Amino acid sequence: MSATFTISELAREFGVTTRTIRHYEDQGLLSPKREGVNRVFSNRDRVRLKLALRGKRLGFSLSEIRELFELYDVCRDEKKQLEEFLAKLERRRALLEQQLEDIEVMLNEISFFANQCHRLLKDKSDRGGEKAAA
């Protein structure tokens, strides 16, 4: 018999809440069996949870992760799966590189305005000091 897991065991193992796991189930990423009111997760569900959490860390949406799972479920052509995953990774990389560029621009603008404020404060302080001396 293959290993099975409770929702609490998986939550503990992966450091997520049981609510997260139920949400992933609602999104079609996991499909546990039922024993009465209890969910019984297979090793397949455990692996899919692990992959989904990795995908989330990489910035993929749950729908993108589901698409990859569906591709795997429907198409046993590993080459096609890898090509699709690679394409998703490249799109994600391009998006992150654009965000990084945008952040660098914003940081430069913040530094520019902060320096202007410091100069204005120094000028006011210097002029205030001159008035006090006069």
3.40.50.300, 3.40.50.880, 1.10.1660.10, 1.10.1060.10: CATH of 1-61: 1.10.1660.10
What would the pLDDT profile of 9-31 be if each residue is shown by its tens digit? 999 999 999 999 999 999 999 99
> Do 81 and 71 contact (CB within 8 A), yes or no?
yes
CA angle (118 as vertex; 114, 119 as ends), nearest 5? 115
And the tokens for 23?
């949400």
Confidence of residue 133 (pLDDT cuts 50, 70, 90): low
> Do 24 and 32 contact (CB within 8 A), yes or no?
no
What is the CA 101 to chain-centroid distance, rounded? Answer: 19
What would the pLDDT profile of 28-85 be if each residue is shown by its tens digit? 999 999 999 999 999 999 999 999 999 999 989 999 999 888 887 776 777 888 888 8
**Domain spans in the chain, listed from the N-terminal domain onward:** 1-61, 75-134
- pTM for this entry: 0.70
